[in-house]
Amino acid sequence: MRVGLGTGSTARWFILGLAERVRQGLTIRAVATSLASASLATEGGILVEELGADGLDIAVDGADSVDPALRLIKGRGGAMLREKIVAASAARYVVIVDAGKYMPSLCGGFRSSDPVRERQTLRTLAERTSMAFAFRTGPDGRPFITDNGNLVADSEDRALHDPSALAEMIRSSPELPATGSSSG
């Protein structure tokens, strides 16, 4: 099988378990959603390759939160772009969460990928959503940059009552980065 590997502490457990199965003789090929997951998989003996045109049989990832309608917030790990590409390429998409991820309603989250328009992106988001957004910073206080060289814009100032509508609004807004996406 061709298997997509997610990113984060939950996906890490999946990769470790998969590596154990590979050591026992399971034959798979994997595509990783982050450099961290690629390293972990390779160290565990999993063959990691680039995503091919033939897609994936299954992808397994974690999530930051899930609501009663099984809608998800993802992206806290900063691997959203590759996670979305891998998820879209997989015939089956499995998300693993523990009980701590269940929320009665989701909170905001947005990843921006266009540095040229970064400030305009935040302004547009704020205008369209009436929510406050800020670019994520790392432990050193500098802007957090993803594996793909993207910035991450986060908003957590209120619950999302209609995350599906928000996701659609962002997807259909030409002013927002074409590869940007609501996490909801």
Active site residues: 83
Angle separating helix axes 9-23 and 35-43, nearest 10 degrees: 30
Residue 67 in contact with residue 104, Cβ under 8 Å? yes
Query: Which tokens go with 27?
Result: 């034959």
Is position 77 an interface residue for ligand A5P (rule: CB under 6 A)? yes
Span near ligand A5P by CB under 6 A; candidates 23-31, 49-57, 75-83, 163-171: 75-83
The region of 7-15, 35-43, 147-155, 161-169 touching ligand A5P under the rule CB under 6 A is 7-15
Q: Among candidates 90, 102, 91, 32, which has minimal Cα distance to 65? A: 102
* Residue 153 in the binding site for ligand A5P (CB under 6 A): no
Please identify, among the stretches 20-28, 76-84, 125-133, 174-182, the one whose residues bind ligand A5P according to the rule CB under 6 A. Answer: 76-84
63 binds ligand A5P (CB under 6 A): yes
> Could you say whether residue 10 binds ligand A5P (CB under 6 A)?
yes
Q: Which of 15, 31, 46, 80 binds ligand A5P (CB under 6 A)?
A: 80
| Under rule CB under 6 A, residue 2 binds ligand A5P | no
CA–CA distance, 60 with 3 (Å, rounded to integer): 8
Distance CA 80, CA 7 (A): 9
Alpha helices (runs of H) in 4-117, residue ranges in sequence order: 9-23, 35-43, 80-89
The contact set with ligand A5P (CB under 6 A) reads: 6-11, 61-64, 74-80, 83
